[in-house]
């Protein structure tokens, strides 16, 4: 079997997605997600200009060898652009292999370890009443666990709160504002109110989105302990693995990190010293199914669980790959699932299902996701940036 064609499809059915389609001489095709929110064209060029020519004529069954040659052969390793491009190839090749086998991908990853995949959904509000309405809406949709984000008194635009806050924002980034002290004062009150309203049993999560110093994160973790969070996510900037030592030594609030990590090397200290409880990488940004499977096996040795990143900017192709992994691995924790617009589902028709807050990859051979290229072409790429974030005095801060 040989790869005879590979092309990059850019589409924006509400937000941008980058998809790689690989075709073989036997007519079997595979899809991979290469979406890097806000920097989509860089990955598209990396694939078109530097990767696709190398794939022509090669054997699609040699997934590990292809992965290693793209990773090692470039010499310039790691980084989000490189790893998103390699991920798209890896996932497309797994899609082809599973289609040839006539099996859903999860069967090639060891078969199902559970009946279905538990998810968490996003609730947010500018204030407590709006937040409660949002939590009720997610519960009505069946979500068994809820991520809670709120406005901070005195701030106009805060991460996770405006509807579609991280969706396409046009040709210039929206500027959000931030005050860490106000946030640290406010958040425990929010969780106190949520626990009083929704009781002790509902799993609650929160994303600090890389904004705290280690000592601030340690204090927040302690302050949130009475509210029994499922996790506190990305409490400190991801570059500083050692910072998690200080956080960990001060709080028993579980910690999740890793959505911006690209390789296992970003996790070495965090996993080997057991400084976190959940690894958050996406198939799409971590080089694909092959390396993510290895990461989960490493994490399992330290009783750390999976929690694959699953916002709207992972395409249904990347989401499907995650769901197959989630079903197969032993140390599955939870899957983030924000859902998609009807138009996105039409561009990417899929076998996976979302029922009662749980996902299942379905039984179609391969990933179980298609790409309607005509519909995709009718919704072309639109330049869009993520927001940026400034402190009250104008200083740029982590977003």
Q: Which is nearer to ligand KDG, 209 or 379 (CB)?
A: 209
Among 83, 72, 96, CA closest to 47: 83
Catalytic pick among 209, 309, 350, 379:
209
Binding status of residue 277 toward Mg ion by CB under 5 A: no
Q: Residue 166 binds which entry of ligand KDG, Mg ion, none, with Cβ cut-offs from 5 to 8 Å by kind?
A: ligand KDG
Q: Which is nearer to ligand KDG, 16 or 107 (CB)?
A: 16
385 given a catalytic annotation: no
Binding status of residue 207 toward Mg ion by CB under 5 A: yes
Place of tokens 């490189």: 82
Catalytic pick among 106, 120, 143, 159:
159
Asked if 176 and 118 touch (Cβ cutoff 8 Å), the reply is no
Q: Could you give the C-alpha distances from 82 to 34, 63, 257, in angstroms and in order?
A: 10, 17, 21
209 given a catalytic annotation: yes
Binding status of residue 312 toward Mg ion by CB under 5 A: no
Asked if 220 and 213 touch (Cβ cutoff 8 Å), the reply is no
Smallest distance from ligand KDG to CB 36, Å = 8
Smallest distance from ligand KDG to CB 322, Å = 12
- Contacts for 73-82 with beta carbons within 8 Å, 24 or more apart? 74/50, 77/263, 78/262, 78/263, 78/265, 79/262, 80/36, 80/39, 80/260, 80/262, 80/285, 81/36, 81/39, 81/42, 81/43, 81/46, 82/46, 82/262
Q: Distance (Å, rounded) from C-alpha 311 to C-alpha 324?
A: 17
Smallest distance from ligand KDG to CB 260, Å = 8
Which residues are at the interface with ligand KDG (CB under 6 A)? 37, 166, 207, 209, 259, 309, 311, 313, 336, 386
Q: Which is nearer to ligand KDG, 326 or 336 (CB)?
A: 336
Counting every residue written for the chain, the total comes to: 399
Smallest distance from ligand KDG to CB 207, Å = 5
Q: Distance (Å, rounded) from C-alpha 196 to C-alpha 200?
A: 8
Tokens of 9: 């499809």
Q: Which is nearer to ligand KDG, 176 or 313 (CB)?
A: 313
Q: Which is nearer to Mg ion, 40 or 207 (CB)?
A: 207
Smallest distance from ligand KDG to CB 158, Å = 12
Q: Residue 336 binds which entry of ligand KDG, Mg ion, none, with Cβ cut-offs from 5 to 8 Å by kind?
A: ligand KDG
Binding status of residue 336 toward Mg ion by CB under 5 A: no
Interface residue list for Mg ion (CB under 5 A): 207, 259
Catalytic residues: 159, 209
């Amino acid at each position: 079997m040989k790869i005879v064609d590979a092309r990059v499809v850019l589409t924006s059915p509400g937000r941008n997605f980058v998809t790689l389609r690989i075709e073989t001489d036997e007519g079997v095709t595979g899809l991979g997600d290469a979406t890097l929110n806000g920097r989509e064209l860089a990955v598209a060029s990396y694939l078109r200009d530097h990767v696709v020519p190398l794939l022509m004529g090669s054997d699609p069954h040699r997934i590990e060898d292809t992965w290693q040659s793209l990773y090692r052969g470039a010499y310039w390793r790691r980084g989000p652009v490189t790893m998103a491009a390699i991920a798209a190839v890896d996932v497309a090749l797994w899609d082809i292999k599973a289609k040839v086998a006539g099996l859903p991908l999860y069967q090639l990853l060891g078969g199902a370890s559970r009946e279905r995949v538990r998810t968490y959904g996003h609730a947010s509000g500018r204030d407590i009443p709006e937040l409660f309405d949002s939590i009720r809406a997610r519960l009505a949709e069946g979500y068994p666990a809820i991520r809670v984000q709120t406005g901070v008194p005195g701030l106009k635009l805060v991460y996770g709160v405006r509807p579609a806050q991280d969706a396409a924002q046009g040709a210039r980034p929206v500027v959000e504002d931030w005050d860490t002290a106000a946030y640290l004062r406010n958040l425990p009150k929010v969780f106190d109110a949520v626990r009083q309203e929704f009781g002790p049993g509902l799993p609650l999560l929160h994303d600090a989105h890389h904004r705290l110093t280690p000592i601030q994160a340690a204090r927040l973790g302690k302050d949130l302990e009475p509210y029994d969070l499922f996790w506190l996510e990305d409490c400190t900037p991801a570059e500083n693995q050692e910072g998690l030592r200080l956080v960990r030594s001060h709080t028993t609030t579980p910690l999740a990190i890793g959505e911006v990590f690209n390789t296992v090397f970003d996790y070495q200290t965090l996993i080997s010293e057991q400084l976190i409880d959940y690894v958050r990488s996406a198939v799409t940004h971590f080089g694909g199914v092959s390396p993510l499977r290895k990461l989960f096996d490493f994490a399992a040795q330290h009783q750390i669980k999976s929690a694959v990143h699953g916002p709207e900017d992972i395409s249904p192709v990347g989401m499907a790959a995650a769901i197959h992994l989630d079903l197969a691995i032993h140390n599955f924790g939870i899957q983030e699932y924000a859902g998609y617009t009807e138009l996105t589902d039409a561009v990417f028709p899929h076998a996976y299902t979302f029922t009662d807050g749980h996902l299942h990859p379905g039984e179609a051979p391969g990933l179980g996701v298609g790409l309607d290229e005509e519909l995709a072409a009718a919704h072309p790429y639109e330049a869009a940036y993520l927001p940026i974030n400034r402190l009250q005095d104008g200083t740029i801060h982590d977003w």
